[in-house]
Chain A
Amino acid sequence: MSDEGAAVVAAVQAVAERLEAERTHLTDLDSAIGDADHGGNMARGWKAAAEEVAALDDPDPATVVKTAGKKLLSEVGGASGPLYGGSLVFASPELEDGITAETAVAFAETYLEKVQDRGDARVGDKTMVDALVPAVHTFKKSVETDDLPPVEALAKAVAAAERGVDFTVPIRASKGRASYLGWRSVGHQDPGATSTLYILEELLAAAEEQLDVAETPPVDATSPTIPDGEEAAED
């Protein structure tokens, strides 16, 4: 098996284990403002995806990601299937030439674009987009502008996603099922943003392991988190 393919299989496995461990927590978050199925759906879907990719014969990274996404599409119910699974499927071609800082940025950007197109959500709607936009923008800036090594860039992206998750607590939902609650959604952390953070944390751990980084470098907390004007105004 190619090293990169094997690393992505291991990352999918790590995400599956993490979401299983967080199943109850995600469901608790979702029962406050949704339909209490996010933990179960994500744990079940990623477990099936991990089994599916483990059975692949010497896959390249793009094939692993596409296979995992297809499995999520068929196994995860509700909007999470198309949002998490569909976005992986359609972003996977970006990794066809292997995983480099550049292809990882392209992958992240396509994934974000697919989530936003499909869900029609923007920053501030109290969705996974609140974690994803700052993470992807921070990753891109860290790689392209600040010239940071990939693992360090990913660590900054994870920190940005974490602040994005915190940002979902005080705001009112305007997309997804939580939006039916109106102001009553205020004060609750968004489950989709939270599971997105968990996935990113596991990708960081997998990248650290693969690239043999001794420890996560200290993160400069001044990275941009929630983008202003330009992105928020797009449509």
Chain B
Amino acid sequence: MVGLVVVSHSRKAAEGIAEVAAEMGGDTRIEPVGGDGQGGFGTVPDDIEDALAAADDGDGVVVLVDLGSAVMNADVAIELSDVEAVIADAPVLEGAVNAAVAATSPKATVESVREQAEAARDVDKL
């Protein structure tokens, strides 16, 4: 099934978002990744590449990202990786929840999961 990677500048934020999404996502593989590798904020392409490999079971991966360089580093990691992966242009938490649910569909593809993640842009809260 399609896997998910959650990329944040904060390792803790990525883990928390993955936890929330996992509540809804059943068996979906969700890999959190974040931090500069030295205890600070940031993202590292090598780490994201590892997370892509861990989340993939052959059906591809949808990547949720927070801000700025997380987007660029995820983009670099995807270009370096052999895994079929796409970035969803979506709010990271809401997108991860939507994607985790979408991935449980037996007909889910990378494209259908990304589409559902991106639908989270239109979620009204008030």
Enumerate chain A interface residues (CB-CB to B < 8 A): 73-74, 77-79, 81-83, 86, 89-90, 118-119, 177
Contacts and interface: CB of A to CB of B under 8 A. Distances in A.
Contacts of A73: 44-46, 73, 76
A89 B72 contact: no
Looking at B37, B44, B73, which has the most chain A CB atoms within 10 Å of its CB? B73
A183 B42 CA distance: 28
Contact of B45 (A78, A81, A177): A81
Given A86-B76, A118-B76, A74 B68 contact: no
A74 B48 CA distance: 11
Contact of A79 (B37, B44, B72): B72
A89 B77 CA distance: 11
B54 to A, nearest CB: 18
Contact of A78 (B37, B69, B75): B69
Nearest to B73: A82
Main secondary structure of the interface of B (DSSP, over half): helix
B68 A89 contact: no
8 contacts: A73-B44, A74-B37, A81-B45, A81-B69, A82-B69, A86-B76, A89-B76, A89-B80
Interface in B13-62: 36-37, 42, 44-46
A83 B76 CA distance: 9
A79 B73 CA distance: 8
A119 B72 contact: yes
Looking at A74, A82, A118, A119, which has the most chain B CB atoms within 10 Å of its CB? A82
Given A73-B46, A74-B46, A86-B45, A81 B79 contact: no
Looking at A86, A89, A177, which has the most chain B CB atoms within 10 Å of its CB? A86
A90 B72 CA distance: 14
Looking at B42, B69, B73, B76, which has the most chain A CB atoms within 10 Å of its CB? B76
A82 B44 contact: no
A65 B42 CA distance: 24
B37 A86 contact: no
A65 to B, nearest CB: 15
B85 to A, nearest CB: 16
Nearest to A79: B69
Nearest to B36: A77
B86 to A, nearest CB: 15
Contacts of A74: 37, 44-46
B75 to A, nearest CB: 6
A77 B40 CA distance: 10
